Amino acid sequence: MKILVPIKRVVDPYAKVRPLADGSGIDLTGQNFAINPFDEIAVEEAARIKERDPSTQVTAISIGGPEVEDQLRKALAMGADESILVESTAEWDSPSVADELAAYLKDNPTDVVIMGKQATDDDNNQVGQMLAAKLGWPQATFASKIELKPGEAVVTRETDTGEETLSLPLPAVITVDLRLNEPRYIALPGIIKARSKPLNKVAPKTSPRLRTCMTGVESPPSRQAGKRVGSVDELLAELKGRGVLNG
């Protein structure tokens, strides 16, 4: 079984981000970066599948500059067999990333792609589905349980009203949600040890063809702290007074 895990380097998801003063982009000064937390769950899932079946081959892949090596090394430390850095300093939107991944997969037969449902920077939730569409593969998004069998993935996924279980013939694309697993903690020595695993650098097979661009950013209107009330009676009176509840 061959598994591909595309990962994205993102600003530390727990850090506060602000627009640049001129509104042209995000102020990245002093920010730390990490594997997108949903992609980290995908790496963890692939690592667990490999632990159960050691014949599994897990490849992590990312597009970017040399700075992404940190995240690709972490994926190796978590259990991936090899990492691939598609070297590019260009800007890639979701359809372009999907095009590049599709081109990679055409040349590198793979049974299943496991990746995060969305990245915590742009919150798009697009690439997995676009990739599946471009390849003509089935998809299961928002996965909370994955069972791989010969030629088949059985995936339980979260829905708006509960959950459902799908059976997908392989190859397939699976995007993962928070409840799938809790990624292992990797201490620094583990990341250094993973330096013996291959991190291959390749040129992109496609050129990004941007179909959208971000032309500006701003802070959202902020909510002001309101009034403190001293009792439930006072709270109900305020709600009725404001017409929120019927008096």
Residue type present at position 211: R
Note whether 110 binds other proteins by CB under 8 A.
Answer: no
For other proteins, how many residues bind (rule: CB under 8 A)?
Answer: 78
User: Strand, coil or helix: what is 73?
Assistant: helix
Site for other proteins in 23-82 (CB under 8 A): 26
Note whether 178 binds other proteins by CB under 8 A.
Answer: yes
* Burial class of residue 19 in the structure, from the number of CB atoms within 10 Å of its CB (0-12 exposed, 13-18 middle, 19+ buried): middle
Among 32, 55, 160, 203, binds other proteins (CB under 8 A): 160
Q: Which is nearer to other proteins, 170 or 191 (CB)?
A: 170
Note whether 202 binds other proteins by CB under 8 A.
Answer: no
Note whether 4 binds other proteins by CB under 8 A.
Answer: no
Contact 7, 35 (CB under 8 A): yes
Note whether 109 binds other proteins by CB under 8 A.
Answer: no
Note whether 177 binds other proteins by CB under 8 A.
Answer: yes
Stretch that binds other proteins, among 49-57, 125-133, 183-191, 198-206 (CB under 8 A): 125-133
The span from the CA of 23 to the CA of 241, in Å, is 39
Strands 9-11, 33-35: parallel, antiparallel or unpaired by DSSP? antiparallel
Closest CA to 110 of 84, 79, 87: 84
Contact 38, 178 (CB under 8 A): yes
The span from the CA of 137 to the CA of 115, in Å, is 15
Stretch that binds other proteins, among 53-61, 80-88, 187-195, 236-244 (CB under 8 A): 236-244
Q: Which is nearer to other proteins, 43 or 132 (CB)?
A: 132
Among 168, 174, 186, 194, binds other proteins (CB under 8 A): 168
The span from the CA of 121 to the CA of 151, in Å, is 34
We find the least distance from the C-beta atom of residue 43 to other proteins, in angstroms, to be 18
Note whether 179 binds other proteins by CB under 8 A.
Answer: yes
Contact 113, 101 (CB under 8 A): yes
Note whether 181 binds other proteins by CB under 8 A.
Answer: no
Stretch that binds other proteins, among 62-70, 81-89, 192-200, 238-246 (CB under 8 A): 238-246
Cβ-based neighbour number of residue 177 at 10 Å? 16
As a whole number of Å, the end-to-end CA separation of the chain is: 64
Among 39, 44, 81, 93, binds other proteins (CB under 8 A): 93
Note whether 95 binds other proteins by CB under 8 A.
Answer: yes
